[in-house]
């Protein structure tokens, strides 16, 4: 059976997911067979495994950090918020029900056998399992029947590292308050404290570490500096989703090493839907120096955009209604009619059609007219499409013709079935409008390079788009960079001793 260690945080957003990935990477580099585990995750960023199961995107990243293929065993319970305190409950990678928060709270302990079975399967293959908690372990109103923090640590007899985020301030109060609210047995499990996202001179922080000892005898396992990384984050706390409206972002000075694009960057606007899912689809675009990408939630934010993207959503009809209420619906139609390219991914793809119908209440119910930019209609059925995709784009016409026959890959996660007047797989295009169900399609370098070339050609700017590094290559480099940072900032002697290796 595998040994283990658990990463818990003083609150959401302290960086547990990335730290878990980094520790896994170090262990993997040191020759151990490792695996991630998060018993329960709440996220709209998800991933489809090779066997067609859905897990949190963070656990997929952690699997790659560990050098293993992502598996549904790494995240046996995934909750996907749908609004009105309701979430889709996914167990062992497959949806089982839509539940109100109160109903799930009453029933969650019934999933313990699924959690333990998944952990046991991982344990038979790994030397060490690095477990990620969720939120805070001392939410006193949620501690009863806990299955994701200290309750799980007790079941699995796991030592704990407690992480605090110094970025918003008050990190010593975070750590001390959390430890103070723990029972004596829980405090004994905490083997080390970590201060994360530190900016500045560590020498100025050192006195505080010493002054903290009279209040708490748990040793510090390290201070981790803030380092920008091109790695997937939890969707609810990502700074990438910060809205920048009013045309300000597209009017600001653009810094780039490419002289031809300093005053003419490609400007991409992603609509910040209330139930946006899998925003990681745009990580590649956001990392390209001559691309300026931002998230917008009002019509003015689309000002000057060279490309508008409507992303995935966990509640298509609700977000379609929101588009109409905000005025974005009419603005997108007007921009499209004037020739601005528009792309829809998954739920955003469904919105581009003539209608969306959810008569069975799969995602809340109702019927709504779509943008009418693509000749198709979508009907929701009680079956979720979960699969990885590797294919070629067919013959396209119009603005997207240069993308024809490019290889693309990614994964599908959707409840609706779309029926079109034309072929819809893997993409459908009409004029300057393109839609697809494939999440991660921009991770396909040739597809994305040709798209950017077409956008520059439309702007009548001669610019040779450089080769785009495959997302998997970038991910590996960033994970190794993360491991280097953690080796320098964490006491792995303490961590290895806590694990028992």
What is the pLDDT at residue 248? 41
CA distance 424 to 422: 6
Q: 224 and 130: one domain?
A: yes
Looking up tokens 């991630």 gives: 36
What are the pLDDT digits (tens) for 120-136? 999 999 999 999 999 99
Q: 185 and 42: one domain?
A: yes
Residue 482 counted as domain residue: no
Active-site residue list:
346, 439
Quick check: 147 pLDDT over 90? yes
Domain, as residue range, for 212: 3-231
Q: 227 and 248: one domain?
A: no
Q: How many alpha carbons fall within 13 Å on the CB side of residue 303? A: 12
Q: Please tell me which residue, 303 or 381, carries the higher pLDDT value.
A: 303
What is the pLDDT at residue 1? 86
CA distance 274 to 324: 13
Question: What Å distances lie between residue 234 and 70, 188, 411, CA to CA?
Answer: 17, 29, 19
What are the pLDDT digits (tens) for 19-48? 999 999 999 999 999 999 999 999 999 999
The Cα angle at residue 410 between residues 405 and 412, in degrees rounded to 5: 110
E strands, 337-451, in order: 342-345, 355-358, 366-369, 376-392, 407-420, 427-430, 433-436
Q: Are 295 and 241 in contact (CB under 8 A)?
A: yes
Quick check: 486 pLDDT over 80? yes
What is the pLDDT at residue 260? 47
Residue 360 counted as domain residue: yes
DSSP H helices in 160-276: 171-180, 184-189, 202-212, 248-251
Q: Are 310 and 344 in contact (CB under 8 A)?
A: yes
Q: 170 and 208: one domain?
A: yes
What is the pLDDT at residue 416? 84
What are the pLDDT digits (tens) for 347-366? 999 999 999 998 888 777 88
Quick check: 58 pLDDT over 70? yes
Residue 495 counted as domain residue: no
Mean pLDDT of the chain: 92
Q: 220 and 330: one domain?
A: no
Residue 313 counted as domain residue: yes
Domain boundary, last residue among 231, 251, 273 = 231
**Residue 438 is encoded by which pair of tokens?**
């494939």
Q: 364 and 419: one domain?
A: yes
Taking only Cα atoms into account, the Rg of the chain, rounded to an integer number of angstroms, comes to: 23
Least confident of 61-75, 324-338, 382-396: 382-396
CA distance 21 to 7: 10
Quick check: 205 pLDDT over 70? yes
CA distance 195 to 202: 11
Residue 491 counted as domain residue: no
CATH number at residue 249: 3.40.50.880
Residue 236 counted as domain residue: no
**Residue 17 is encoded by which pair of tokens?**
């997911």
What are the pLDDT digits (tens) for 162-187? 999 999 999 999 999 999 999 999 99
Residue 131 counted as domain residue: yes
Q: 177 and 256: one domain?
A: no
Cα first-last separation, the chain:
13
Q: How many residues does the chain have?
A: 501
Q: 192 and 76: one domain?
A: yes
Phi, psi values for residue 363, rounded to 5°? -125, 35
Q: 298 and 158: one domain?
A: no
CA distance 143 to 155: 14
- Mean local confidence (pLDDT), 252-267: 52
Q: 197 and 126: one domain?
A: yes
Q: 187 and 261: one domain?
A: no
Phi, psi values for residue 347, rounded to 5°? -60, -35
**Residue 14 is encoded by which pair of tokens?**
């302290």
How many of the other CB atoms lie within 10 Å of CB of 290? Answer: 19
Query: What percent of the chain has a predicted confidence (pLDDT) above 90?
Result: 84
Q: 129 and 66: one domain?
A: yes
Q: Are 293 and 308 in contact (CB under 8 A)?
A: no
Q: Please tell me which residue, 449 or 232, carries the higher pLDDT value.
A: 449
Domain boundary, last residue among 181, 209, 231 = 231
Instruction: Provide the number of structural domains found in the chain.
Output: 2
What are the pLDDT digits (tens) for 462-477? 999 999 999 999 999 9
Burial group, residue 375, by CB count within 10 angstroms (0-12, 13-18, 19+): middle
pLDDT bracket for residue 234 (50, 70, 90) = low
CATH number at residue 72: 3.40.50.300
Quick check: 256 pLDDT over 90? no
Residue 32 counted as domain residue: yes
- Mean local confidence (pLDDT), 212-232: 95
Beta bridge partners of 193: 162, 220
pLDDT bracket for residue 426 (50, 70, 90) = confident
pTM: 0.91
Q: What is the DSSP letter of 385?
A: E
């Amino acid at each position: 059976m595998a040994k283990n260690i658990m990463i818990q945080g003083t609150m959401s957003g302290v960086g547990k997911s990335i730290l878990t990935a980094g520790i896994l990477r170090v262990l993997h580099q040191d020759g151990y067979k490792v695996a991630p585990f998060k018993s329960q995750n709440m996220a709209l960023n998800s991933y489809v495994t090779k066997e067609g199961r859905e897990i949190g995107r963070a656990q997929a990243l952690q699997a790659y950090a560990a050098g293993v293929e992502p598996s549904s065993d790494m995240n046996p319970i995934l909750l996907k918020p749908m609004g009105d305190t309701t979430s889709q409950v996914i167990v062992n990678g497959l949806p089982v029900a839509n539940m109100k928060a109160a109903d799930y709270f009453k029933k969650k302990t019934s999933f313990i056998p699924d959690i333990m079975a998944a952990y046991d399967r991982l344990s038979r293959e790994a030397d060490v399992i690095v477990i990620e908690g969720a939120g805070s372990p001392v939410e006193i109103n949620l501690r009863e029947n806990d299955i994701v923090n200290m309750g799980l640590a007790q079941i699995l007899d796991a030592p704990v590292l407690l992480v605090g985020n110094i970025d918003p301030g008050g990190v010593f109060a975070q750590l001390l308050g959390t430890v103070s609210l723990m029972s004596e047995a829980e405090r004994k499990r905490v083997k080390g404290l970590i201060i994360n996202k530190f900016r500045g001179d560590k020498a100025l922080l050192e006195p505080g570490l010493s002054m903290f000892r009279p209040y708490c005898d748990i040793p510090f396992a390290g201070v981790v500096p803030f380092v920008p990384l091109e790695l997937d984050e939890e969707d609810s706390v990502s700074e990438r989703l910060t809205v920048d409206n009013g045309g300000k972002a597209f009017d600001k000075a653009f810094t780039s090493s490419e002289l031809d694009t300093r005053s003419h960057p490609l400007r991409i606007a992603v609509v910040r839907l209330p139930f946006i899912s899998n925003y990681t689809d745009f990580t590649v675009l956001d990392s390209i120096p001559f691309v300026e990408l931002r998230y917008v939630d009002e019509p003015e934010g689309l000002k000057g955009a060279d490309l508008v993207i409507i992303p995935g959503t966990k509640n298509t009809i609700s977000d379609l209604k929101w588009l109409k209420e905000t005025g974005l619906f009419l603005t997108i139609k007007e921009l499209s009619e004037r020739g601005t390219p528009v792309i829809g991914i998954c739920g955003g793809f469904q919105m581009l059609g003539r209608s969306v119908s959810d008569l069975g209440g799969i995602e809340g119910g109702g019927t709504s007219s779509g943008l009418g930019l693509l000749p198709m209609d979508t009907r929701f059925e009680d079956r979720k499409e979960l699969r990885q995709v590797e294919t070629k784009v067919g013959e396209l016409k119009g603005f997207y013709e240069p993308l024809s026959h490019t290889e693309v890959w990614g994964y599908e996660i959707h409840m609706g079935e779309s029926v079109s007047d034309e072929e819809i797989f893997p993409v459908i295009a009409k004029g300057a409008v393109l839609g697809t169900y494939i999440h991660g399609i921009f991770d396909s370098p040739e597809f994305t390079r040709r798209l950017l070339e077409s956008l520059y050609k439309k702007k009548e700017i001669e610019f040779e788009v450089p080769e785009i590094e495959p997302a998997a290559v970038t991910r590996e480099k960033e994970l190794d960079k993360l491991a280097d940072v953690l080796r320098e900032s964490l006491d792995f002697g303490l961590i290895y001793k806590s694990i028992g290796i």
